[in-house]
Amino acid sequence: MSTDVTETTAGTGSARPVAHGRPTVAPVPFDREIAPVLEALAAAPQPGLSRETLAAMREPGLGPGFPSGAELVAGRAVTAEERVIPGPDGAPDLEITVFAPADRGPDPLPVLVNFHGGGMIVGHRSWEHGRVLDLVERHGVVGVNVEYRLAPEDPYPAGAEDNYAATRWVAEHSDELGVDPGRLIVMGGSAGGAFAAAVSLMARDRGGPAIAGQLLLCPMLDNTNSTVSSLQYDGIGTWTRDANLLAWECVLGTELAYSEQAPATAAPSRAADLSGLPPAFIEVGAAEMFRDEDVDYATRIWATGGQAELHVWAGGCHGFDMYMPDAEITRAALASRDSWIARMIGAGVER
């Protein structure tokens, strides 16, 4: 069943995929605890994401506000350190926040390197300080939260190269950070999940650094926007099809935005070969637009003989753990993530 066509966006020449009427498959219902929250969000609409609103959504006073690392660790047995590290060759330096257990012993700790979400066009690492800090507390690891350049001002490959450079720096400065480079996990949600997948591909193809696992939370993998779930959630939920189309246009430009020729390190679904990758944990809601591309990514990893653990949460919307932290579905999802992380940091990788 085909429900997708393309149209030429006025003044750009870009072939933009659009829904042919409404999708012929009804959307999967939202979880009973999630639906009221989404209804409340819809009843108080915010300005839509567009090229005109991007700047406003990035301003601290206008976009979502989140506490600093120092504010979050107050009263907790975790330290937060702000650092500036070298970016890719010829590119600006990168800001990172390093969270670590305050009572750590002398032995090197596993390390999680996190890339924030936001469609590669909005967002800030502070959005996900809480997620990283909680993992540091629960698992006794070091967490590194990375700031990277955003499109359209800095389109592909800026973000991917920034995040690869940060991951390589962490591995190369493991003694300084007190971490074990053989137990390094890359992670992220949405756009951050795309970057974690891309960094895993880059590390494989560039001969390092060694990565013990990739934690991909509702990752944004497929630039073609051609799946059934992409159409089922056209205009529905916390991350809409229109926002996703805009994001890929900003990242890849008009010629490659929806093309199957897009680089795999921008849109990992475009990778022809998914063999030789670190074990993947892939989580997605059944009621969101990234569902089908994420299931396909896990299936293709399995087809190579690789390791992937896939969780599709019934009724889950995009980023349900961030929007509904107290829901039962979130408690179950966090328990599954914790189990996988514990197994990965216990195993590590050969160096």
Cβ neighbors of 10 (< 8 A, separation 6 or more) are none
The secondary structure of the chain in percent helix, strand, coil, rounded to multiples of 5, reads: 35, 20, 45
Question: β-pairing, 308-313 with 280-285?
Answer: parallel
Q: Is residue 266 part of a domain?
A: yes
> Average pLDDT of 248-268?
96
How far, in Å, CA of 218 to CA of 188, rounded? Answer: 9
Give me the number of domains the chain comprises.
1
What is the pLDDT at residue 14? 54
Q: Mean pLDDT, to the nearest integer, of 82-103? A: 97
Task: Answer whether residue 21 is part of any domain.
Answer: no
Residues forming a β-bridge with 95: 84
What is the mean pLDDT of the segment spanning 303-317?
Answer: 98
Confidence grade of residue 65 (pLDDT, cut at 50, 70, 90) = low
pLDDT surpasses 50 at 279:
yes
- Give residue 281's pLDDT band: very low, low, confident or very high (50, 70, 90): very high
Name the pLDDT band for 200 (thresholds 50, 70, 90). very high
- Please check whether residue 237 is in contact with residue 110, taking contact to mean a CB–CB distance below 8 angstroms: no
pLDDT band at 153 (very low <50, low <70, confident <90, very high): very high
Give the number of C-alpha atoms closer than 13 A to the C-alpha of residue 281, restricted to the C-beta side: 22
Q: Look at the alpha carbons of 182, 133, 342, 191 in this order and tell me if their dihedral is positive or negative.
A: negative
- Single-letter amino acid code for the residue at 252: L
Average pLDDT value for the chain? 91
The three-class DSSP label of residue 188 is strand
**Could you tell me if 68 and 120 are in contact, meaning their C-beta atoms sit under 8 angstroms apart?**
no
Mean pLDDT of 112-131: 95
Which DSSP string corresponds to 14-65? -EEEEESSS-SSPPPPPPTTTHHHHHHHHHSPPPPP-TTTHHHHHSTTTS--
Parallel/antiparallel/unpaired status of strands 109-115 and 179-189: parallel
Enclosing domain of residue 153: 28-347
Residues 202-255 have pLDDT tens digits of 999 999 999 999 999 999 999 999 999 999 998 889 998 999 999 999 999 999
pLDDT score recorded for residue 18 = 60
Burial state string for 27-48 with b = 16 or more CB within 10 A and e = fewer than 16: bbebbeebeebbeeeeeeeeee
Model confidence at 327: pLDDT above 90: yes
Q: What is the mean pLDDT of residues 58-73?
A: 70
> Looking at the domain assignment, is residue 11 inside a domain?
no
* DSSP calls for 334-351: HHHHHHHHHHHHHH----
pLDDT tens-place string over residues 5-55 = 445 443 344 567 764 445 567 899 999 999 999 999 888 877 778 888 887
Q: Is 39 left (phi over 0), alpha (psi -120 to 50) or beta?
A: alpha
For residues 263-288, average pLDDT? 98
Q: Is residue 6 in some structural domain? A: no
- Tell me if 7 is assigned to some domain: no
Q: Is residue 75 part of a domain?
A: yes
Q: Assign residue 281 the CATH number of its domain.
A: 3.40.50.1820
Question: CA angle 343-347-351, nearest 5°?
Answer: 150
